[in-house]
Amino acid sequence: MSHAAARHPIPHGYAKAHVSPEDYRARYAESVKDPETFWGREGRRLDWVQPYTRVKNTDFTLGKVSIRWFEDGVLNACVNCVDRHLPARAGQTAIIWEPDDPAAPARHITYAELSDKVNRMANVLLSQGVMRGDRVVIYLPMIPEAAFAMLACARIGAIHSIVFAGFSPDALANRINDCGAKLVITADTAPRGGRKTALKSNTDAALLHCSDRVRCLVIKHTGDQTTWVQGRDVDVLALMDQVSPDCPARPMGAEDPLFILYTSGSTGRPKGVVHTTGGYLVYASMTHQCTFDYQDGDVFWCTADVGWVTGHSYIVYGPLANGATTLMFEGVPTFPDPGRFWAVCEKHKVTQFYTAPTAIRSLMGQGPEWVERHDLSSLRILGSVGEPINPEAWAWYDKHVGKGRCPIVDTFWQTETGGHMITSLPYAIETKPGAATLPFFGVSPAVLDAASGTVIEGNGVEGVLAISDSWPGQMRTLWGDHQRFEEAYFQQYPGYYFTGDGCRRDEDGYYWITGRVDDVINVSGHRMGTAEVESALVAHPKVAEAAVVGYPHDIKGQGIYAYVTVMNDVTPSEELRRELEGWVRTEIGPIAKPDLIQWAPGLPKTRSGKIMRRILRKIAENDYGSLGDTSTLAEPAVVDDLIDNRMNRG
Ligand code: WTA
């Protein structure tokens, strides 16, 4: 990525855009100078049962971090995503569902039908004893029932926590137990790319490690045979037919939790990020509308999975709060062929397409002919999320998918931030390939010196990215552990929310995200804590010690590189390598499988026993010429062996 990257001017001739260049400047200035007025006005984009009188009450002071928005307001998120669009949009499609199998029929769910399904599912939850504040774990594939389940929880004030369907039974059990879920909603099996994942049997395995009071609600999606535990398992669709289609929505406080979403941090177990009702929904709605310039009649497609935050904010909550038509895709970009994304865009006349750089890179490798055989003239705006987009992928996306006429929004944000933080806005902020560009309304970025924490002013500077004031979509706490929340995000640089990312502010004041500066890696846009993979590896009886780092990977962005020290009486072998790969798959899930495993007789440690990850990263990057100072190592010879046997010689 170079500073000199070409500028991509704002396309002309689009007069209707939600934000113009002048608007952006004026409204941004107001949003950071007078957030009360700015957000007080924006909050009214939602319907409130009882309007708020207090807009912002936030404090980043270590020891008393507290984040509250619209705190005395009362509302219901489901009403805002469903009921309030009736009757005007009753016949409009809310959700287009495209199944894995291209020959199977797509579903078009209108707002009226959405309302019916969500009310029924809410009544099913009530019939199972779910009450306000209870936690419900959702372990579902990309089917409309996942959205129904989220909204049904919101309707009755239950807190949902979605676990990505690619996670293993162990990972599912840990999350069920951590949040103390009363029930889990799953499906029989999940087809993806022509293959099926046995979600129900995964759930059965997970529930062996949970309280026997946890109930299991099953969506019979494929109709495949599964085991059935009488008294515990419930057939959701059958019950939905029996219950009433009316379920009163529970009035909720703006600061009542809406959902918990587990994400990886640099240390320890996954963290339960808590988002609340009012601020999150205002922010998801506004970012969806402005970043994608969503207009009535558009068909919006975010290719993420609902198991990640991107799916929460930009498949379900943002679009539905805006009365949009949102597309949900069950499959993968390469099934039945690498033209599937474009076939779906053509079939459903998609206007906004939002995906991850890793998907673009993998499709780029298949050649442009897969794109060119489809009519993509409906596309108006393209988006990117999850990791920095390299200029080659950007240029390919622009040329072959956008035909040079669709603005590309590169959206930087995190599970913790609820919605976009730094992004261009179509027709308002001119882009540069690889730059996230400028902050969204209400976001105050600061570039800090990593070591001292001092603010680096001016342009043409580099450091770490922190945010100096709160915005409505910010996470409020970690489930059950407010102290860990403060330590993880506010301790390192007092007075700031620390993103964990490095960044550069160029000569024009544009922000370029340079990647994580902590022990979090980003594999195919999926966030992974190296500590999680390490603890899975050392749980294997033949492993004595393990250290995991990321390394540059052409398609995935980063790959997982594991250094493994085996027990004294064990001889490393190909068979053991495969065994460890399989082991990590079962402990966490397929996305955590190491790409490279190097047998390490020893790991480089300081005399106090701390693993020197900096050195391991360099060797994994095949950049061992610049190892820096190794004089503090307890056994410098260890490094020579690691270099000689390095796995990445590319
Ligand atoms: C990275 C995903 C560069 C970043 C929404 C962040 C990005 C982490 C971008 C959050 C982008 C996300 N450019 N890097 N446009 N978007 N990231 O929580 O390192 O799964 O901290 O949220 O992804 O990942 P998460």
Q: What is the CA radius of gyration of the chain?
A: 24
Tell whether ligand 1 has an atom less than 6 A from the beta carbon of residue 547: no
- Indicate if ligand 1 lies below 6 Å from the C-beta of 305: no
Ligand 1 within 6 A of 80 CB? Answer: no
Strands (E), 419-542: 445-448, 461-467, 477-478, 497-505, 511-516, 520-523, 526-529
Average pLDDT of 441-452?
A: 97
Burial grade of 217 (CB within 10 A; 0-12, 13-18, 19 or more): buried
Under a CB-based contact definition with an 8 Å cutoff, are residues 96 and 108 in contact?
A: yes
Structure tokens given for 275: 């988002």
The per-residue pLDDT for range 302-355, each reduced to its tens digit, is 999 999 999 999 999 999 999 999 999 999 999 999 999 999 999 999 999 999
Whole-number pLDDT of residue 2: 45
Q: DSSP E strands: which ranges in 386-534?
A: 408-411, 445-448, 461-467, 477-478, 497-505, 511-516, 520-523, 526-529
pLDDT score at 629 = 76
Residue 593 lies inside a defined structural domain of this protein: yes
Residue 3 has pLDDT above 90, yes or no: no
The response to whether residue 412 sits with its C-beta less than 6 Å from ligand 1 reads: yes
Let me know if residue 557 belongs to a domain.
Answer: yes
State whether the beta carbon of 310 lies less than 6 angstroms from ligand 1: yes
Within-domain flag for 331? no
Whether residue 431 has pLDDT greater than 50: yes
- Residue 613 alpha carbon to ligand 1 centre in Å: 22
Spatial separation of the C-alpha atoms in residues 3 and 508, rounded to whole Å: 10
CATH number, domain at 186? 3.40.50.980
CB-based contacts of 97: which residues, under 8 Å, 6+ apart?
106, 107, 108, 109, 143, 144, 327, 328, 330
Task: From 500, 538, 535, select the one nearest 519 (Cα to Cα).
Answer: 500
Q: Has residue 551 been placed in a domain?
A: yes
Indicate whether 102 belongs to any domain.
no
Cα first-last separation, the chain = 20
Going from the Cα of 445 to the center of ligand 1, the distance in angstroms, rounded, reads 15
Whether 625 is in a domain gets the answer yes
Segments forming the whole domain that contains residue 544: 524-645
pLDDT tens digits for 87-143? 999 999 999 999 999 999 999 999 999 999 999 999 999 999 999 999 999 999 999
Predicted confidence band at 562 (pLDDT cuts at 50, 70, 90)?
very high
The amino acid present at 406, given as its one-letter code, is C
Burial of residue 560, with CB atoms counted within 10 A of its CB: 0-12 exposed, 13-18 middle, 19 or more buried: buried
**Strands 497-505 and 461-467: what pairing?**
antiparallel
Which of 226, 250, 274 is the last residue before a domain boundary?
250
What's the structural domain count of the chain?
2
Mutate to test the pocket of ligand 1, among 389, 412, 467 (most ligand atoms within 8 A of CB): 412
Predicted-assembly ipTM surpassing the 0.95 threshold:
yes
Atom from ligand 1 closest to the CA of residue 384: 15
For the purposes of burial, counting CB atoms within 10 Å of the CB of 571, is it exposed (0-12), middle (13-18) or buried (19 or more)? exposed
- 166 CB near ligand 1 (under 6 Å): no
CATH number, residue 589: 3.30.300.30
- Ligand 1 centroid to residue 272 C-alpha, Å: 17
- Check if 598 has its Cβ closer than 6 Å to any atom of ligand 1: no
Question: Does the residue 497 lie in any domain?
Answer: no
Tokens of 89: 């949009």
Contact (Cβ atoms closer than 8 angstroms) between residue 310 and residue 386: yes
Classify residue 569 by burial, with Cβ atoms within 10 Å: 0-12, 13-18, 19+. exposed
Position 282 in a domain: no
Domain boundary among 227, 250, 273: 250
Domain boundary among 188, 221, 250: 250
Distance 413 CA to ligand 1 centre (A): 5
Range 28-57 average pLDDT = 98
State the Cα–Cα distance between residues 152 and 247, nearest whole angstrom.
9
What's the average model confidence in pLDDT over 598-619? 90
DSSP-H helix ranges across 128-270: 144-156, 169-179, 199-207, 236-242
